[in-house]
Amino acid sequence: MDYESGVIEVAENVYAWINENCATNAGFIVGEEGVIVIDTLMTPSLAGSLMTVVRDVTEKPIRYVINTHFHGDHIYGNQYFLPAPIIGHENCKFDLDTKWDDNFNRYWSREALRPELSRIVKTTPDVTFNDKMSIWLGNREIQLSFHGRAHSNSDILLYLPEEKVLFVGDLAVNKTIPAFPDGHITDWVSVLDQVDKIDTKTIVPGHGPVGTRADFNEAKDLLNLLNTQIKSSFDNGATEDEAAQKVDVGLYSSFANQDRIPQIVEMAYKAYRGEL
């Protein structure tokens, strides 16, 4: 899938680093006294490339690192941005402390990643919040907020109200079927209804190209479609395999990662049974 990748200035001194093939994105915000980095990616080489990207723009110090949620492809690079404080939801720290092995093994199973993953040291947020917090970078306010369980139990938004830019992490990926290793489909639908109320014009997703409100609506509609179809199969007594076969994403059939449908069905059935 072709789309604009690389460093994209989405507002004055606000940058998205968009990777090809719906790989994990990052971002950074430059202020008078320093830089906020949004997610640190998965491997030492990716974290190093992100640091190089930042340094190509500014030599100002890294003031803060934000973790949008606890998944390794977004946070394993944390150690390379110390001693900057790392900020995340309190559940991000909790899940990294209690689910580290399960999360890590998910990536370790990809043999090609092992030489780099062997260098990762668990580095969790040292500043956490529950509901909302603001960071001021000079006169610019950056609002962090948590809206409940969705893609994970630690997804946060980073919002610049003046510029109407929203970094959504994996709450709303763009042009790809969402990943569901920790997703709670019905709660996720509810969270996106809340996010929809935020006044935004530019959305930076955790995966895929920079988007607009229309792209967010696509992601929201896709999740609703998946929930409706899978819940219908569940209510009619279909097996998970049968439900996966019945899923028809229609308009979204060109999206990346179509092979995620069986996992989405598996996790949706767990949600409907109250097992998550």
What's the token pair of residue 15? 């940058």
Kind plus residue range of the DSSP H or E element containing 73: helix 72-75
- Structure pTM? 0.96
The predicted structure's pLDDT at residue 250: 95
The predicted structure's pLDDT at residue 73: 97
Query: Phi, psi at residue 235, to the nearest 5°?
Result: -65, -30
Confidence category of residue 129, pLDDT binned at 50, 70, 90 = very high
Name the percent of the chain lying above pLDDT 90. Answer: 99
The predicted structure's pLDDT at residue 111: 96
SS3 annotation, 231-259: HHHHHCCCCHHHHHHHCCCHHHCCCECHH
Domains of the chain (ranges; CATH) run: 6-181+197-212 (3.60.15.10)
Q: Mean pLDDT over residues 36-48, rounded?
A: 98
Give the residue from 147, 146, 155, 152 showing the smallest Cα distance to 103.
152
The predicted structure's pLDDT at residue 43: 97
Under 8 Å between Cβ of 152 and 70 = yes
The predicted structure's pLDDT at residue 151: 98
Give the residue from 114, 116, 122, 66 showing the smallest Cα distance to 95.
122
Q: Mean pLDDT over residues 237-262, rounded?
A: 97
What does the alpha-carbon distance between residue 202 and residue 208 come to, in Å, rounded to a whole number? 13
Question: What's the chain's average pLDDT?
Answer: 97
Over residues 75-119, the pLDDT tens digits come to 999 999 999 999 999 999 999 999 999 999 999 999 999 999 999
The predicted structure's pLDDT at residue 2: 85
The residues pairing with 36 across neighbouring beta strands, listed in sequence order, are 29, 64
Confidence category of residue 1, pLDDT binned at 50, 70, 90 = confident
Among 2-6, 114-118, 132-136, 239-243, the minimum mean pLDDT is found in 2-6
Residue 244 has pLDDT above 90, yes or no: yes
Under 8 Å between Cβ of 223 and 252 = no
